[in-house]
Protein backbone atom coordinates (compact mmCIF):
# COMPACT_ATOMS: atom_id res chain seq x y z
CA UNK A 1 0.00 0.00 0.00
CA UNK A 2 2.85 2.39 0.87
CA UNK A 3 4.52 1.71 -2.47
CA UNK A 4 1.32 2.62 -4.31
CA UNK A 5 1.03 5.84 -2.31
CA UNK A 6 4.66 6.79 -3.06
CA UNK A 7 4.16 6.01 -6.74
CA UNK A 8 1.02 8.16 -6.81
CA UNK A 9 2.87 11.06 -5.17
CA UNK A 10 5.77 10.80 -7.64
CA UNK A 11 3.44 10.69 -10.67
CA UNK A 12 1.31 13.57 -9.36
CA UNK A 13 4.42 15.68 -8.71
CA UNK A 14 5.82 14.97 -12.18
CA UNK A 15 2.54 15.90 -13.88
CA UNK A 16 2.07 18.97 -11.70
CA UNK A 17 5.52 20.28 -12.61
CA UNK A 18 5.02 19.95 -16.38
CA UNK A 19 5.31 23.20 -18.26
CA UNK A 20 4.78 23.39 -22.01
CA UNK A 21 7.74 24.40 -24.16
CA UNK A 22 7.75 28.16 -24.65
CA UNK A 23 10.67 29.30 -26.80
CA UNK A 24 9.27 32.49 -28.40
CA UNK A 25 12.38 34.07 -29.93
CA UNK A 26 12.28 31.98 -33.17
CA UNK A 27 8.75 33.27 -33.82
CA UNK A 28 9.39 37.00 -33.54
CA UNK A 29 10.19 37.25 -37.26
CA UNK A 30 9.17 35.12 -40.21
CA UNK A 31 6.29 34.04 -42.41
CA UNK A 32 3.32 32.27 -40.80
CA UNK A 33 -0.03 30.65 -41.57
CA UNK A 34 -3.10 30.66 -39.32
CA UNK A 35 -6.28 28.65 -40.01
CA UNK A 36 -9.61 29.37 -38.33
CA UNK A 37 -13.31 28.69 -38.79
CA UNK A 38 -15.44 31.68 -39.80
CA UNK A 39 -19.13 31.25 -40.63
CA UNK A 40 -18.72 27.44 -40.74
CA UNK A 41 -15.93 27.75 -43.29
CA UNK A 42 -12.20 27.22 -42.77
CA UNK A 43 -10.19 30.25 -43.78
CA UNK A 44 -6.43 30.78 -43.96
CA UNK A 45 -4.53 33.92 -43.15
CA UNK A 46 -0.85 34.31 -43.94
CA UNK A 47 1.29 36.97 -42.37
CA UNK A 48 4.90 38.10 -42.32
CA UNK A 49 6.33 39.68 -39.19
CA UNK A 50 9.63 41.55 -39.37
CA UNK A 51 10.73 43.83 -36.55
CA UNK A 52 7.91 46.20 -35.67
CA UNK A 53 5.83 45.46 -38.79
CA UNK A 54 3.36 42.68 -39.59
CA UNK A 55 1.82 42.32 -43.06
CA UNK A 56 -1.25 40.10 -43.28
CA UNK A 57 -2.98 38.63 -46.33
CA UNK A 58 -6.60 37.56 -45.80
CA UNK A 59 -9.13 36.92 -48.60
CA UNK A 60 -6.71 38.40 -51.15
CA UNK A 61 -6.55 41.65 -49.15
CA UNK A 62 -3.33 42.93 -47.62
CA UNK A 63 -3.23 44.85 -44.36
CA UNK A 64 -0.39 46.02 -42.16
CA UNK A 65 -0.03 46.44 -38.40
CA UNK A 66 2.58 47.73 -36.02
CA UNK A 67 4.04 45.22 -33.57
CA UNK A 68 5.01 46.28 -30.07
CA UNK A 69 6.59 43.50 -28.01
CA UNK A 70 5.72 43.66 -24.29
CA UNK A 71 8.11 40.83 -23.43
CA UNK A 72 9.61 37.84 -25.23
CA UNK A 73 6.22 36.10 -25.65
CA UNK A 74 3.59 38.88 -25.71
CA UNK A 75 2.91 41.67 -28.16
CA UNK A 76 0.33 44.23 -29.23
CA UNK A 77 -0.87 44.55 -32.84
CA UNK A 78 -2.29 47.87 -34.03
CA UNK A 79 -3.57 48.34 -37.58
CA UNK A 80 -1.67 51.06 -39.43
CA UNK A 81 -4.59 52.00 -41.70
CA UNK A 82 -7.85 51.15 -39.91
CA UNK A 83 -10.97 51.38 -42.06
CA UNK A 84 -13.46 51.70 -39.18
CA UNK A 85 -13.70 52.10 -35.39
CA UNK A 86 -13.49 48.35 -34.77
CA UNK A 87 -10.15 48.13 -36.60
CA UNK A 88 -8.74 50.94 -34.46
CA UNK A 89 -8.70 48.65 -31.43
CA UNK A 90 -5.39 46.94 -30.66
CA UNK A 91 -5.07 43.18 -30.25
CA UNK A 92 -3.07 41.58 -27.44
CA UNK A 93 -1.35 38.30 -28.39
CA UNK A 94 0.34 35.96 -25.93
CA UNK A 95 2.32 32.91 -27.04
CA UNK A 96 1.55 30.13 -24.56
CA UNK A 97 3.46 27.20 -26.06
CA UNK A 98 5.78 26.42 -28.96
CA UNK A 99 7.11 23.51 -30.99
CA UNK A 100 9.82 23.54 -33.67
CA UNK A 101 7.44 24.95 -36.30
CA UNK A 102 4.31 26.20 -34.49
CA UNK A 103 3.20 28.39 -31.67
CA UNK A 104 -0.09 28.32 -29.79
CA UNK A 105 -1.38 31.67 -28.64
CA UNK A 106 -4.27 33.50 -27.04
CA UNK A 107 -5.56 36.73 -28.50
CA UNK A 108 -8.17 39.36 -27.78
CA UNK A 109 -8.86 43.05 -27.91
CA UNK A 110 -6.82 45.10 -25.44
CA UNK A 111 -8.86 45.80 -22.33
CA UNK A 112 -11.34 42.95 -22.84
CA UNK A 113 -11.30 39.70 -20.89
CA UNK A 114 -12.62 37.47 -23.71
CA UNK A 115 -9.76 35.62 -25.37
CA UNK A 116 -9.59 33.19 -28.26
CA UNK A 117 -6.96 30.56 -28.91
CA UNK A 118 -5.13 29.65 -32.10
CA UNK A 119 -2.05 28.02 -33.56
CA UNK A 120 0.25 29.61 -36.12
CA UNK A 121 2.51 27.54 -38.39
CA UNK A 122 5.88 28.91 -39.45
CA UNK A 123 6.32 28.74 -43.22
CA UNK A 124 9.88 27.96 -44.26
What pLDDT, on a 0 to 100 scale, did the predictor assign at position 19?
61
- Which residues share a beta bridge with 65? 54, 79
d(CA 111, CA 34): 23
Q: What does pTM read for this prediction?
A: 0.80
Q: What is the 8-class DSSP label of residue 111?
A: T
d(CA 31, CA 54): 10
- Cα–Cα distance between 47 and 31 in angstroms, integer? 6
| Percent of the chain whose predicted confidence (pLDDT) is above 90 | 66
Q: What is the pLDDT of residues 55-75, one digit of tens each?
A: 999 888 999 999 999 999 999
- What fold, for 21-123? Lipocalin (2.40.128)
pLDDT, tens digit (0-9, with 9 covering 90-100), for 76-108: 999 999 999 988 999 999 999 999 999 999 999
The Cα–Cα gap between 49 and 56 comes to 9
Domain boundary assignment for the chain = 21-123
> What average pLDDT does the chain have?
87
pLDDT of residue 6: 53
Amino acid sequence: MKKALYLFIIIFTAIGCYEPQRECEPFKNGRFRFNTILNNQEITTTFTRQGSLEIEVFNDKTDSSSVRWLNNCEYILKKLHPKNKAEEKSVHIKIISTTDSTYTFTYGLVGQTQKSKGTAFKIK
